[in-house]
Structure 1
Amino acid sequence: MKKTILVAGATGNLGNRICRELIKRDADVSAIVRTATDPEKIVALKDIGVKVILADLNNIGEITDACSDIACVVSALAGLDDVIIDLQKRILDGAIQAGVPRFIPSDFCTDYNNLVPGENRNFDLRRQFKTYLDSTSIEATSIFNGAFADILKYYTPILNLKDRSIGYWGEKEDWKLDFTTMDDTAAFTAAVAMDDHAPRDLQIASFQISPRMIWTDIKEITGQEFRMQQLSSLEDFAEFIKKQRADHPAGENELYAKWQQAQYMYSMFTTHHHQLANQRYPDIDWTTGFTYLKTFVK
């Protein structure tokens, strides 16, 4: 008998990939989407074999109906408190009322459990939802994938292809950063959704790579020596972020405000994963750092 998995956030980049991976694993996949969802996105899901359930996501009754006979609900939602806390709570409550045994929250980020509350706004939202989730009877698994590898393409201080520089904070040129591709995250999430015995927290990384290792790989790929630079101490960076946030209050209503992006950078240089679960599902072929860099570094 096929497993029935419901995905929330299936029209997003990660959610769509999770649906594809679930179908590869022979799951019956449903997606709960807002009634006002772009019809083209609905067609795209149906074309890959996903059953689309239109629902008023403010209505617990409709969410509960969508969760009927579901083995696991996967949340790939992205947003601020109205989504990560309020909407996820409604979906979780509907799942519990429908008797769903397992739930995967939208914790696709660095493992925030040992980080200091207040240092990352978006992590704090997930931490707040986790408190509520853990107060319920449902079995849950959080997947911590570090940073999505895509950010390496976007001229962050860690790797800036425009000015051919590689940056780091503190004395962290050899600090290994956790990166996971969207495809690897989706494959692992699908495997977890099908796994009735998955533990509460799982850390993964397609590759763990330090600024110095990035420098070495870039040199091998391009023959060029990028400039390695210490950007500041971690203490000065933390103070800069606080000032930037205070000076730009409008960012509180932005998912990726500039100071929030800086908070992500800070967290990457203050914690990393020590217990990777990459080998839990042997069928996943993890992307290496060198292979990934070669896809966009010329």
Structure 2
Amino acid sequence: MDDGQTRPVVVVAGAAGDLGFRIVTALTAKGASVRALVRRPVDKLNLDQVHQVAVDHNDDAALTGAVTGAVSVVSALNGTAPVILGVQGRLLDAAVAARTPHFIPSDFSLDYRATRPGDNRNMDLRRTFAARVDAAPIRATSILNGPFADLLEGEAPIVLHKLRRVLYWGNADQLFDFTTKDDVAAFTADAAMDPAAPRYLRIAGDQISPRGLAALLTGMDDRPWKLLRAGGIGRLSAIIAVVRALTPDTDAPFPVWQGMQYLRDMSTGRGKLHDLDNARYGKRHWSRAADVLAPTL
């Protein structure tokens, strides 16, 4: 479908990915016309108000043409340095060349500005790219949402169903931020169409500690859930170093040790989100940990 004449046009890179597709869907629901940048047409993107543009990200002229006329460019690209610094960097350059007024980089993370350089590879990449964004003549907005809620049971599982335990490192009362991908997508769609969106927006669907998770699960399950302390932060750091040393080099964005690095930044409180912007666009319902965990009990 061609871009609408009266609808704002938003470009989404990485539109065929998990988060990217959710952002596309949220944008169309909010009245935007989406220009989805893809390597080749994708059946699931054959939607109303979505125009797929097959583009070579190494072709600067084609990439600039693909983003021309948009009110915002949203990057949902996922990867390591070749993607986050390379492909996304060319996307940023194209947005600047096309005089696009707004750029949303693929941050979607805890607050990397407060993490320690060298502690978390993916946060280091975001920190490096942020410096490039800040030097570019374009208004930018980074969405910081803490870990995606599927981390509760995903790459670095915290909820251990078979044992009815909540695994933690360090302090059982350290609050964690969690946000579902659908909530992140809906908020990102609003930010993409907001001409006054600031440089950083912080959101969290829920903020809950390991101790709070154990109490929540006990109440939901009608059976006791207990805490399982795996060790202190020093022990976690030592395990990360060993696992990373034994893992073959990979461009995968989330090898096991990367999930553990994320867990360390959560467990230390570095990267914790403060002064949330949840209310900025009037969104009232945010999925909480109970909503995520209920189907698995």
TM class, shorter-length: over 0.9
Rounded to whole Å, the distance in 1 between the matches of 2:97 and 2:32 is 22
Matched, 1:108 2:108: yes
Are the counterparts in 2 of residues 7 and 15 from structure 1 also a CA contact under 8 Å? Answer: yes
| Residue number in structure 2 paired with 1:189 | 188
Alignment of 1:27 with 2:32, yes or no, is: yes
Counterparts of residues 136-155 of structure 1 (less than 5 Å): 136-154=136-154
2:233 is matched with 234
Instruction: Encode CA deviations 1:63-114: one digit per residue, 9 max, x unaligned.
Output: 0000111110000000111101000011111111111010000001111101
- Residue 91 of structure 1 is matched in structure 2 by 91
Secondary structure in structure 1 of the residue aligned to 2:159? coil
The 2-side partners of 1:227 and 1:189 are apart by 36
- Residue 257 of structure 1 is matched in structure 2 by 255
Work out the CA distance in 2 between the residues paired with 1:153 and 1:257. 15
2:143 alignment partner AA: I
Deviations 1:179-226 (A, max 9, x none): 000110000000000111111111111101111111111111111112
Partner of 2:207: 208
- Contact 1:180/1:204, CA 8 A, preserved across alignment: yes
Please, what TM-score do these two structures have when normalized by structure 1? Answer: 0.93
Could you report, residue by residue, the CA deviation over 1:102-134 in whole angstroms, capped at 9, with x for unpaired residues?
Answer: 000000111110110100011111111111111
Q: State the alpha-carbon separation in 2 of the partners of residues 165 and 180 from structure 1.
A: 21
TM-score (norm 2): 0.94
Q: Give RMSD over aligned pairs.
A: 1.4
Q: Which runs of 5+ in 1 are unaligned?
A: none
1:202 touches 1:276 (CA, 8 Å); kept in 2? yes
Q: Is the 8 A contact 1:20 1:48 kept in 2?
A: no
Paired amino acid for 2:192: A
Q: 2:161 & 2:124 partners in 1: Cα distance?
A: 31
Query: Which string of whole-angstrom CA distances, capped at 9 and with x for unpartnered residues, describes residues 124-158 of structure 1?
Result: 11111111111111100000110111122338442
Give 2:266's aligned residue.
Answer: 268
Question: For residue 3 of structure 2, what is the aligned residue in structure 1?
Answer: none
Q: Which amino acid aligns with 1:264?
A: Y
1:135 maps to 135
Could you say what secondary structure the match of 2:275 adopts? coil
Deviations 1:225-266 (A, max 9, x none): 123121111122112212322232x24433211211110110
Conserved 8 A contact 1:76-1:106: yes
Deviations 1:40-71 (A, max 9, x none): xx221122431000111111111000011111
Unaligned stretches of 5+ residues in structure 2: 1-5
Cα distance, 1:284 vs. partner? Answer: 4.6
Which of 12, 22, 47 is the matching residue for 1:7?
12
Which SS does the other structure have where 2:110 is aligned?
coil
Name the CA shift for 1:263/1:70 in 2 (closer, same or farther; >3 Å).
Answer: same
Q: Which moved more, 1:227-236 or 1:42-51?
A: 42-51
Q: Is the contact between residue 183 and residue 287 of structure 2 (CA under 8 Å) also seen in structure 1?
A: yes
Residue type of the alignment partner of 2:276: L
